[in-house]
């Protein structure tokens, strides 16, 4: 499809296990963002990629969280030794990230991965 | 101070009513402004960009006041389908693609 694709859509895991969440961006979008949203809460920024590099990782809550992006395309968010407080919806968004002007900044979101840590 | 602040609401309005709400932003260098809509348990979706001169898209009107650093959204002739959370979104600087999202204003339109 033409939109941002995230997988899996739902993930149930046991406390202490590692999980990997995947994001396939819109073709040609150089900027990619990960957010977390807990039930009834706003979006919490996690990390921003421009191409393969991550100029801003300031939102990652702990060293259990990491993310990478390869080939300027697919990104993976990894959570190690999951805890119950990690339960949330993890949203990926991408934008053209090129040139000036508002249109390059518009972020398009995937449907998210709903993570439940038991 | 939060980068983007919104009145969480909820705004409960009857069908056909007009509802309006604002958000304020802290970074005077911000250049890009948007309203996103988020339905319950769904991802945010762009509603409209906000331009300096103000802009309209059907029943929705957005205004930007740079001097006071606020953005407004007005919804005319509200429909049941307008019930959602509206997120105010601002970029962090003149050439920064990172967006700051407000926590959202909830609007509920009742029959």
How many contacts, defined by CB atoms under 8 Å, are there between A and B?
53
* Nearest CB neighbour to B43, from listed A33, A45, A112: A112
Tell me A102's DSSP state: G
State how far residue B30 is from chain A, nearest Cα, in angstroms: 11
Residues of B in contact with A107 (CB under 8 A): 46, 89, 99
Half-sphere exposure of A80 (CA within 13 A, CB side): 6
| Confidence check: pLDDT of B19 > 90 | yes
The pLDDT of B21-33, averaged and rounded, is 93
3-state secondary structure (DSSP) of residue A4: coil
pLDDT, one tens digit per residue, over A57-80 is 999 999 999 999 988 899 999 999
B99·A107 Cβ contact <8 A:
yes
């Amino acid at each position: 499809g033409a939109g941002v694709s995230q997988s899996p859509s739902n993930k149930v895991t046991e406390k202490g296990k590692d999980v990997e969440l995947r994001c396939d961006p819109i073709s040609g979008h150089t900027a990619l963002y990960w957010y977390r949203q807990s039930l009834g809460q706003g979006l919490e920024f996690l990390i921003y990629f421009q191409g393969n590099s991550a100029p801003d990782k300031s939102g990652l809550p702990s060293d259990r969280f990491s993310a990478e992006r390869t080939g300027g395309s697919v990104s993976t968010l990894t959570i190690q030794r999951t805890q119950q407080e990690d339960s949330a919806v993890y949203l990926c968004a991408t934008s053209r990230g090129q040139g000036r002007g508002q249109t390059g900044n518009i972020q398009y979101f995937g449907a998210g991965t709903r993570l439940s840590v038991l | 101070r939060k980068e983007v602040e919104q009145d969480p609401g909820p705004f409960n309005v009857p069908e056909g009513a007009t509802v309006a709400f604002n958000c304020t932003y802290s970074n005077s260098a911000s250049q890009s402004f948007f309203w996103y809509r988020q339905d319950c348990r769904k991802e945010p979706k762009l509603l409209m960009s906000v331009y300096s001169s103000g802009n309209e898209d059907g029943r929705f009107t957005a205004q930007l006041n740079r001097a006071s650093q606020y953005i407004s959204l007005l919804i005319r002739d509200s429909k049941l389908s307008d019930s959602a959370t509206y997120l105010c979104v601002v970029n962090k600087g003149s050439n920064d693609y990172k967006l700051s999202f407000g926590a959202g204003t909830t609007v509920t339109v009742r029959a």
